[in-house]
A and B are shown apart, each in its own frame.
Chain A
Amino acid sequence: GQNIDQPTEMTATEGAIVQINCTYQTSGFNGLFWYQQHAGEAPTFLSYNVLDGLEEKGRFSSFLSRSKGYSYLLLKELQMKDSASYLCAVNRGSTLGRLYFGRGTQLTVWP
Chain B
Amino acid sequence: NAGVTQTPKFRILKIGQSMTLQCTQDMNHNYMYWYRQDPGMGLKLIYYSVGAGITDKGEVPNGYNVSRSTTEDFPLRLELAAPSQTSVYFCASSPQTMNTEAFFGQGTRLTVV
CB distance from B43 to the nearest CB of A (A): 4
Interface size classification for chain A: 20 to 34
- The reply to whether A31 and B99 form a contact with Cβ atoms under 8 Å apart is yes
Which residues from chain A contact B102 at a C-beta distance below 8 Å? Answer: 45, 99
Count: A-B pairs, CB below 8 Å: 64
- Contacts A97-B33, A97-B50; A102 near B42 (Cβ below 8 A): yes
Among B13-21, B65-73, B76-84, B103-111, the stretch that binds chain A is B103-111
B41 within 8 A of A: yes
Which residues from chain B contact A44 at a C-beta distance below 8 Å? Answer: 104
- The reply to whether A96 and B98 form a contact with Cβ atoms under 8 Å apart is yes
- The reply to whether A100 and B90 form a contact with Cβ atoms under 8 Å apart is no
Which residues from chain A contact B52 at a C-beta distance below 8 Å? Answer: none
Interface string of A58-70 (1 = CB under 8 A from B): 0000000000000
Known: A41-B106, A43-B104, A101-B43; 14 extra A-B contacts, CB below 8 A, are A31-B98, A43-B43, A45-B101, A45-B102, A48-B101, A97-B45, A97-B50, A98-B58, A98-B59, A99-B102, A101-B44, A102-B42, A103-B40, A103-B42
List 24 A-B pairs, Cβ < 8 Å.
Answer: A4-B42, A31-B98, A42-B106, A42-B107, A43-B104, A44-B104, A87-B43, A89-B42, A91-B97, A96-B31, A96-B50, A97-B33, A97-B45, A97-B49, A97-B50, A97-B97, A100-B45, A101-B35, A101-B43, A101-B44, A102-B42, A103-B41, A103-B42, A104-B42
